[in-house]
Amino acid sequence: MTVTYVIDGSRVTGLERFWDVIGEAVNGPGGYFGRGLDSFADCLRGGMGTPDDGDFVIEWRDHTVSARALGHEETARRLRGLLGRAHPSNLPQVREELAQAEAGAGPTLFDHLLEIIRDETAPGTLRLL
């Protein structure tokens, strides 16, 4: 039986809020389902609330609201936070991505989240509504 997890995109006001919303959608109030892009990908692979057989759907309602909240401004904010923690060999890439985000160009956090979901789950798992 397919399980459906609903992301209420109108509740996503930034990346930190996204982690809360997806955690609650999958694991109930106060639930955890990653708090970083890598841990989110790990959670999607199973064992953190989703069925072991991978038979689930993520229904992202009001995804356009989330897309705005997780757009270039929020992407730039996250990248600025990474500058102080990034390995020196990664700094040029982080700086380039930050410059793009500040210019309103390049992929956004929303784009990255969609890519992770599509890469880590079966085709058709993600439904944008």
Token pair 């609650």 is at which residue?
Answer: 24
Residue 88 corresponds to which tokens in the numbers above?
A: 């020196």
Residue 46 pLDDT > 90: no
| Helix, strand, or coil (residue 10) | helix
Q: What digits encode the pLDDT tens for the residues 65-114?
A: 999 999 999 999 999 999 999 999 999 999 999 999 999 999 999 999 99
Q: Residue 47's pLDDT band (boundaries 50, 70, 90)? A: confident
Hey, where are the domains in the chain? 1-70+109-129, 72-107
pLDDT at 53: 85
- Buried-state track 36-67, b at ≥16 Cβ within 10 A, e below 16: eeeebbebbeeebbbeeeeebebbbeebeebb
| Arithmetic mean of pLDDT, 6-17 | 98
User: What predicted TM-score, i.e. pTM, was given to this entire model?
Assistant: 0.95
Q: Which residue has tokens 């909240």?
A: 69
- CA R_g for the chain: 15
Q: Which CATH number fits domain 1-70+109-129: 3.50.50.60, 3.30.370.10, 3.90.110.10, 2.40.100.10?
A: 3.30.370.10
Give the tens place of pLDDT for each residue, 105-126. Answer: 999 999 999 999 999 999 999 9
Q: List the structure tokens of 1.
A: 């039986």
**d(C-alpha 125, C-alpha 22), whole Å:** 15
Q: Which amino acid is at 67?
A: A
